[in-house]
Amino acid sequence: MKITITTGTGEGPTPLAAFDKALLDAGVANYNLIYLSSIIPPNSVIERRCYVTPADEYGHRLYLVMASHRVEEPGTSAWAGIGWTQESVTGKGLFVELHGGSQQEVEQAIDQTLNAMIFSRVSPYGPIQREVVGRTCIDKPVCALVLAVYKSEGWDD
């Protein structure tokens, strides 16, 4: 299975409009989003790139793990991040999705959370990987998000 890590940020007149702009920026705005828990299936390959929506998938279901943060107070920042670790042999692993007010806060939370999850399991997980993105509110609400996109599915599937 191929899982795509994509990021987006957006600004708008409302926090929801900023979220929609961030979804557009990440390439996934025209899907019905279905949130997954944070387990990476065996034989998964993770790639980092902007997700490209095929024209014929408008309105499809999109299975994903999402970290998202919205702020609307000028001078504050929205940061979101996904961290992961995988076994080198099987490809199975773990995702964590976190958000906060700074890059350092999110990166530290990712590392602490994954280290705790790794410690409680017996699997030989590899190094921690991260994708983090942020945006500062100037005068309109902003949103930052990171998505791990698993797959899309039509309604007739």
- What is this structure's pTM? 0.94
Q: Report the chain's mean pLDDT, rounded to a whole number.
A: 96
Strand-pairing partners, residue 81, are: 98, 132
**Number of domains within the chain:** 1
| % of the chain at pLDDT higher than 90 | 96
Q: What is the mean pLDDT of residues 92-99?
A: 98
Q: Residue 89: count other Cβ atoms within 10 Å of its Cβ.
A: 10
97: left (phi over 0), alpha (psi -120 to 50) or beta: beta
| Full residue range of the structural domain in which residue 86 is found | 2-153
Both tokens assigned to 10 = 């957006």
CATH number at residue 52: 3.50.20.10
Q: How confident is the model at residue 157 (pLDDT cuts 50, 70, 90)?
A: low
Structural contact between residues 3 and 13, judged by C-beta atoms closer than 8 angstroms: no
Q: What is the mean pLDDT of residues 12-25?
A: 98
* CA proximity to 143, closest of 78, 65, 98: 78
Distances (CA, A) of 31 to 19, 22, 73, 91: 13, 13, 29, 27
Structural contact between residues 65 and 147, judged by C-beta atoms closer than 8 angstroms: yes
98 pLDDT exceeds 80?
yes
**What per-residue confidence (pLDDT) applies to 122?**
83
Q: What is the mean pLDDT of residues 79-92?
A: 96
Q: What is the mean pLDDT of residues 108-137?
A: 96
**What per-residue confidence (pLDDT) applies to 117?**
95
